Amino acid sequence: MRETTDAEPIPASGAAMNAVALLEAPIAASGVEVSRPVAATIEAFLASVERRAWRIAEIALRDPDEALDAVQDAMLRLVRHYSGKPAEEWPPLFWGVLRRRITDLQRRRAVRNRIMVWTGRATNDDDEELPEWEAPDLGPDPSRALASRQAHAAMSAAIRALPRRQQQAFLLRVLEGLDVADTAKAMGCSAGSVKTHLSRAMDALRTKLEDWR
């Protein structure tokens, strides 16, 4: 698998990113955050973030279609309510909206499962590891793609096993690369809480890193 540096931004999807002007954002001083360009328009911002948002929602929800719905809802809400805000504020707002949407869906699913347990039609979604559907790989190295998918599945399973707040802190702070302040804004808590949740998440994930290789 190809190794990447921490500061290297994940490329945006689609041609929309090429069509708009991008301003260079200040690089985070700590070196932990991933520096990403600030989009000039909200559509460019959504184009830059859509795939990561979907992957993060998929990790949290374990359902690609539900993740897609969550991302679409977050996009609509961002455009409806926050499109007038400065572009620098879009990332924490968007991730905050998406986080709440994911939490809503997780709670709804939990309630549904409880009802199913009462009615005797429960499906053990939390324990059962179902194979995930993936599109057929047409690349030159199928074994590498398979290893990549397996590593992603193992990492997703490890993240899903975390408590919800630790999971959110890890996804936003490490995978999305938000700084502590933006993560705190998106999570609706203090910066100290973010650090605490993240530290505990790291401790929990430390023993599982071997599975990701």
Contacting positions for other proteins (CB under 8 A): 1-6, 8, 10-11, 13-14, 16, 30, 32, 34, 42-43, 46-47, 50-52, 54-55, 64, 68, 71-72, 75-76, 78-80, 83, 134-135, 145, 148-149, 151-152, 155, 170, 173-175, 177, 180, 195, 198-199, 202, 205-207, 209, 212-213
Query: What is the C-alpha separation between 201 and 196, in angstroms, rounded?
Result: 9
**153 Cα distance to chain centroid:** 14
CA 141 from chain center: how many Å?
Answer: 26
- Gap between the Cα atoms of 121 and 191, Å rounded: 42
Q: How far is the CB of 120 from other proteins (least distance, A)?
A: 34
Q: How far is the CB of 131 from other proteins (least distance, A)?
A: 15
Give me the least distance between CB of 107 and other proteins, in Å please. 23
d(CA 28, CA 196): 21
The 10 Å Cβ neighbour count of residue 10 is 16
Contact 35, 22 (CB under 8 A): no
Q: How far apart are CA 160 and CA 179, in angstroms?
A: 22
Indicate the residue among 116 and 204 with the shorter CB distance to other proteins.
Answer: 204
Q: Give least dist CB 130 to other proteins, A.
A: 17
Nearest to other proteins of 80, 121 (CB atom): 80
Nearer to other proteins, 104 or 132 (CB): 132
